[in-house]
Structure 1
Amino acid sequence: MDTYILAIVLIVFASFFQGTFGLGMKHIAPLKWEAWWLVHAFTAMILFPILWALIVIPNLFEIISQTEGNTLFLAAFYGFLWGIGGILFGVSVEKTGISITYGIVMGLAASVGSIIPLFQIEGAFEQPSFPIIMLGVALLLVGVAITAVAGVQRDKLHSNSSTTSKSIKLGVLIAVASGVLSAFLNIGFSNAAPVASVAVTQYGVDAQNASLASWVVVLLGAFAMNGGYALYLFIKNKSWNAYRVPNKRKALGWAILAGIFWFAALGVYGQGAALMGNLGPVVGWPILLGLALIISNIWGYREGEWKNADRPFKVLLGGLTVLIVAICILGYANY
């Protein structure tokens, strides 16, 4: 199989995992949120990434120790910033609803997470694909905005309560901050490239597998934020006995499965991006999030979220069509 086609196939698979893992968050009860999230975050950001990386890179920790400290710190710090964005996402959902928040966050995370790594490439403006990439990212933003509008229209039909204008404005501001910070997950991955480079040049690791070493470093910072926040809630809510509740096995199983799916998305995406070369994080990231948005809406349709909302659903289909066009343009940009 052609290398570039394989890269696209991998990112499509990654998008499936990314668009699906959120189903697990519908099965938090009877656990407290912090109890469910700690298990989920540990599985997604520590256990699964390290186990997968060690299987294909036995010298993982030796490779990391060979990388410059500044590189490691910066990559982990970007992961930490992403963790803040994830927490703000939850706060915004409470104030504005899932549709508005998801649309804003996905759009900003996809565009900022693509453009910053592009500008970090030497001679970015001279890249022949530069205008095509910018067009693809712009269309992606339009597609995400249309899907967000469809979600808002659907929620108005299904909701009997109204949120205050002040709360919505604050929620939108928080969602914007979340979207920008969420982009740092991909920026951290892009800046952790020297870790993968050490694995390839000094230890003979395949470039695809070497990307896993980069994720291990970035996600250490991400877990520091997510795990730390969960522990803070344990202290604040005095919920240390949260794991003693009856009938918790199903919720714990979903926490672990959602964690596996979450990192499966990043791990497979990283392998696809590695095959794309320098522009992998630039082109692959918006494709990943755009397809994930499409897949998550497919799951939502199957779950009945668009029942009795024919007009908003037609708007959604228009937004998904724009997303597909944007993804095709981005795919062509690096061909």
Structure 2
Amino acid sequence: MDVITGVLLHAIGATSAALCYTPQKKVVRWSWQTYWLAQAFICWLLLPIVVALITIPNIAQVLSEAPTSAMVRSFALGAAYGVGGTAFGLAIRYLGFSLTYAISVGISCVLGTLLPPFIRGELNTIVSRYGAEWIMYGIAIGVLGIILCGSAGRLKEKDISNQQDDTSFSFAKGLPLSIMAGVLSAFYGFALDQGQPIADVAAKYGAGNLQGNVIYIFSNTGAFITTLIYCLYLHKKHRTAHEYTSVGGGKQRLLTFNYALAILTGFLWYGQFFFYGLGHVRMGTYQFSSWAIHMIMLVLFSAVAGLLMREWSRVQKRTAFVLALALLVLIAAVLTLTYGNYLGSVPAAH
């Protein structure tokens, strides 16, 4: 039951991640950098600190005993993830939700899942365990589903290319940003992996399944710093810093509305971290597969979100068929990974 519970918690986190960008489309008279920095302050700086203070017992003692090297590595890798997250937000402008998730998350799924145990020299040992072949099958099926999502996105581009009222969709501009986002977003899996010694100390003091929250203090703060630098650069370049206090015309209601959307985005984005941590500690022998499960579900739910937001309303039947097939394959991938984790949890696995 721990494995099933873990997968369900990953599903909640993935749903939160899939929905976290939806408020962006409703922002009024704010430049991208204003909105992005406002929500980043919530999800990458404020919430990680507040939640850690609430959920980690004796947090001052935990931080004093935790290895400094783990803190530094988690922070640095989180900073790289922040660059990827920024590229991700920019890519959505040109590719939409579904295709951006498909490309960048596909890359992140493979790199973020397999490279941490490979670098530790544990991958060969892990894949030789009972049920590990199902984990590998699940990752492969998931990548196939993600590729199919990307193919559906390409077909979508062709379907709407002759529609004059849609000028924002650009595969040429969005693809490099999505690839960058995918590679650097995989660093977040490394950031959590390298921060595990901090969580181990928190567990010793009774943090239990909430132990991962202490890592976010470092991984997410690193992401916030790189985001802050880039957004401040854009503010200086475009002279938009005044937008935090005024949206023009003195309409305070619009300013309050924008802040509410940024706060909602921040809570949704942080939700994926919170539930990821809760799910990860329940995955047993194959904890490393948490990243793949989370990423595959993220693509699945983001595609559904794209459907609900009518991003696919003007596509042809062939495109809709490919997208439907992709969703079925992604569901199969999640079920396969869940079965592999179940096999890893039975006594025969040990």
Q: Compute the TM-score of the two structures, normalised by the length of structure 1.
A: 0.90
**Residue number in structure 2 paired with 1:105:** 104
Report 1:1-335 matches (<5 A).
2-93=1-92, 100-127=99-126, 128=129, 129-160=131-162, 171-201=174-204, 203-206=205-208, 208-243=209-244, 244-245=246-247, 246=251, 247-277=254-284, 279-280=286-287, 282-309=288-315, 310-335=317-342
**Separation (CA, whole Å) in 2 of partners of 1:77 and 1:252:** 29
Shift of 1:182: 0.7
Return the letter of the residue paired with 2:235: F
Return the letter of the residue paired with 1:297: A
Name the SS of the counterpart of 2:21 in structure 1: helix
Shift of 1:221: 0.6
**Separation (CA, whole Å) in 2 of partners of 1:141 and 1:3:** 25
Return the letter of the residue paired with 1:138: A
Q: Which consecutive segments of 4 or more residues in structure 1 shift more than 6 A?
A: none
Does structure 1 retain, via aligned residues, the 8 Å contact 2:284–2:341? no
Shift of 1:173: 4.0
CA distance 1:25–1:171, shift in 2 (3 Å): closer
Shift of 1:223: 0.6
Question: What's the Cα RMSD here?
Answer: 2.3
**Separation (CA, whole Å) in 2 of partners of 1:64 and 1:183:** 25
Does structure 2 retain, via aligned residues, the 8 Å contact 1:99–1:152? no
Name the SS of the counterpart of 2:215 in structure 1: helix
Return the letter of the residue paired with 1:276: M
Equivalenced residues, count: 328
Does structure 2 retain, via aligned residues, the 8 Å contact 1:118–1:279? no
**Separation (CA, whole Å) in 1 of partners of 2:90 and 2:184:** 14
Shift of 1:93: 5.0
Shift of 1:306: 2.0
Unaligned runs of at least 5 residues, structure 2: 343-350
Does structure 2 retain, via aligned residues, the 8 Å contact 1:34–1:230? yes
**Separation (CA, whole Å) in 2 of partners of 1:301 and 1:98:** 10
**Separation (CA, whole Å) in 2 of partners of 1:45 and 1:100:** 24
Name the SS of the counterpart of 1:275 in structure 2: coil
Offset from partner CA, 1:185-228 (integer Å, 9 cap, x none)? 12111111001101112x1221x111100122111111111122
Name the SS of the counterpart of 2:233 in structure 1: helix
Percent sequence identity over aligned pairs: 29
Offset from partner CA, 1:63-109 (integer Å, 9 cap, x none)? 22321211111111110111111223345456666655432201001
Q: Compute the TM-score of the two structures, normalised by the length of structure 2.
A: 0.86
Does structure 1 retain, via aligned residues, the 8 Å contact 2:98–2:303? no
Return the letter of the residue paired with 2:237: K
Does structure 1 retain, via aligned residues, the 8 Å contact 2:57–2:206? no
